Amino acid sequence: MRILLLGEYSNVHATLAKGLRQLGHDVTVASNGDFWKDYPRDIDLNRREGRLGGVRLMLRMRRELPKMRDYDIVQFINPMFLELKAERIEAVYEQLRRNGNKRFVLGAYGMDYYWVNTCCEEKPLRYSDFNIGSELRTNADALRERKDWLGTAKQRLNERMAREADAIVAGLYEYYVCYHPVFPGKTSFIPFGIELGETPEITTSAKLRLFIGINKTRSEYKGTDIMLRAAKDVEARYPDRVELKIAESVPFDEYKEMMKGSDAILDQLYSYTPSMNPLQAMSQGLICVGGGEPENYEILGETELKPIVNVEPEYESVVSALEWLVMHPERIAEMRRQSVEYVRKHHEMMKVAGEYEKLYEELLK
């Protein structure tokens, strides 16, 4: 198959492309590398800074669009798969549909209209980026995303692309809950894929070695502000037993290097499930302190491996979880081994690529 993957979130498409190529498919990734994370791509669609950045990107797309034709599958990471206004993206989308491409797949992998609207209106999740119980979150990021996606051109583009898509793929339980009720006939759940290296050597030390990655522009929204404060306070309470390492807005390769030697990662306070960054950490033998709700294991069909230290979206819950790890050093090595096994069982790159291959083949029948 000839497959075009447009856009990038946290290495999702770059990893998928690698797996699909190993299965024998011709795959092109066109993206901006997910900004400063700088993930690999075949066609660079990064928007340069400055007033003319959008113009330059549109000119680049005009050069590339004639080549983006006759693909068996075109998959979008998100309705906003380019750093352009929704109206301009829609024009690109229309051209792709006219270019003789056969089937279109929309990724439900992150921020979009259905995620925002469902969490704000139906509230099927006990907590999310937008609600805690029946109450809406009022932090600046949540308010901005609501303003961006509800009643706007972004909403209209998302609705059109979802309506016209041949398939919608959700990468996490949360996104599946938002799309499946609206599009039950074409929404699938396929876990995110992680490229596994050699089985990491699990070592322990006198200290609990914590790792947290900070994106300053999204810290409050993702809850890393609360997690960081909790981790610093636990480190201060147990200076001889806890060591904290912080990575702030660094490229992916540097991020992976920095997390080496850690025992646990703190990530995604408002999530039910581990996303790409904690999954990458788990594959290297780190324990995830974050989203490990029962629904996460249920959608995977997992009844035995439960290595994630689940936390509620509040400071006290994070402190309690970290103190439990401090007080149970005898559990660390086994939990780290289970983390690796969990990723190998559910998220291994070739397994996931095979699930996408099966979906694509069904669409082309």
The pLDDT of residue 51 is: 80
- Band (280; pLDDT cuts 50, 70, 90): very high
pLDDT for residue 250:
83
What average pLDDT does the structure give for the chain?
A: 95
The residue among 116, 109, 107 whose CA lies nearest residue 148 is: 116
Which pLDDT score is estimated for 365?
95
pLDDT given for residue 22 in this prediction? 98
**Residue range(s) in the chain whose domain bears CATH number 3.40.50.2000:** 2-193+349-364, 208-346
Residues contacting 135, CB < 8 A, separation 6+ = none
| CATH 3.40.50.2000 matches 2-193+349-364 | yes
* 36 pLDDT more than 90: no
Whether the CB-CB separation of 108 and 175 falls below 8 Å is answered with: yes
Tell me what the mean pLDDT of segment 202-208 comes to. Answer: 89
**pLDDT for res 104:** 98
Q: Which CATH number fits domain 208-346: 3.90.220.20, 3.40.50.720, 3.40.50.2000, 1.10.3720.10?
A: 3.40.50.2000
Angle at 246 (CA atoms; ends 217, 329), nearest 5 degrees: 135
User: Tokens 């096994």, residue?
Assistant: 341
Please check whether residue 213 is in contact with residue 277, taking contact to mean a CB–CB distance below 8 angstroms: yes
The pLDDT tens digits of the residues spanning 330-351 come to 999 999 999 999 999 999 999 9
Instruction: Give the per-residue pLDDT at 252.
Output: 80
Tell me the pLDDT tens digit for each residue of 63-93: 999 999 999 999 999 999 999 999 999 999 9
The pLDDT score that the predictor gives to residue 39 is 94
What is the predicted pLDDT for the residue at 220?
A: 78
pLDDT in tens, 162-195: 999 999 999 999 999 999 999 999 999 999 999 9
Query: What's the rounded mean pLDDT across residues 230-249?
Result: 95
What pLDDT band is residue 324 in, cutting at 50, 70 and 90? very high
